[in-house]
Amino acid sequence: MTKFWPTVAALVWKDILSELRARDIVISILAFAVLSLIIFNFALRPSPQITPIVAPGVLWVAFTFAGVLGLTRAFVLEKDQGNLVGLLLTPTSRGALYVGKMLGSLFFMLMAEVVILPVFAVLFNLSPFQPELLLIILLATIGFASIGTLFSAIAINTRSREIMLPMLFLPIVVPIIIGAVVSSGIALEGGPWSDTVKWIQLIAVFDVVVLVFSGFAFEHVLQE
């Protein structure tokens, strides 16, 4: 058995390298999220008064749905090229595989979000570059990537995988969505830190529970 962290690093590097060549995941997350921001603009017609009310919801719907898209891609690429079987044949632990794939997805989602955020700021005339909001986005994305990697590995082996991942993923991440929407609403309005902190704690607790559970469960999911 090879060492844990070097294996994880190698896995993440493999994902980044293939992403650099194919530019598949980040572009699809990005394009989908920007499109949904624009569609929301037409659907809600936000006037300056209601923009602060709807903006956090719009941002998180865009992040969540685009994230689901990215998570599906992460395993479709592995599976379609027969790479997953190859990975399972190597003497790596399932734990290292999980952490590697999870960090890869996390990295791609964060990359896309870094671009989405300025677009969001321009389209909705807000200033989202506040430390609270960045922390909320980081924590929520960790939660998405942790449970999403587990469910993506499940959904990839089912028929109609495109519908299966959102069906599994969205009901489970409800606490993150609620926490993220409420706390980023407070942060965007310039509310005090003491109001956001309990939501940030909620997201952090969810992250820890989900990370530990997925780490254990992944072993049962990938056994061909």
- Site residues for other proteins per CB under 8 A: 147, 150, 154, 157-160, 163-164, 167-168, 171-172, 174-175, 178-179, 182, 198-199, 202, 205-206, 209, 213, 217, 220-221, 223
Tell me how far apart the alpha carbons of residues 100 and 111 are, in angstroms, rounded to a whole number.
17
State the minimum distance, in angstroms, from the CB of residue 223 to other proteins.
7
Helix axes 51-80, 131-155, angle to 10 degrees: 40
Closest to other proteins by CB, 127 vs 194, is: 194
What is the Cα gyration radius of the chain?
A: 18
Closest CA to 7 of 98, 92, 104, 101: 92
Give Cα separations from 89 to 18, 86, 94, 219, 220 (angstroms). Answer: 20, 5, 11, 14, 16
State the minimum distance, in angstroms, from the CB of residue 220 to other proteins.
5
State the minimum distance, in angstroms, from the CB of residue 33 to other proteins.
24
Q: What DSSP string runs through 147-167?
A: HHHHHHHHHTTSSSHHHHHHH
Closest CA to 170 of 56, 69, 26: 69
Closest to other proteins by CB, 35 vs 174, is: 174
Closest to other proteins by CB, 108 vs 199, is: 199
State the minimum distance, in angstroms, from the CB of residue 165 to other proteins.
10
Closest to other proteins by CB, 23 vs 198, is: 198
State the minimum distance, in angstroms, from the CB of residue 203 to other proteins.
9
Closest to other proteins by CB, 41 vs 157, is: 157
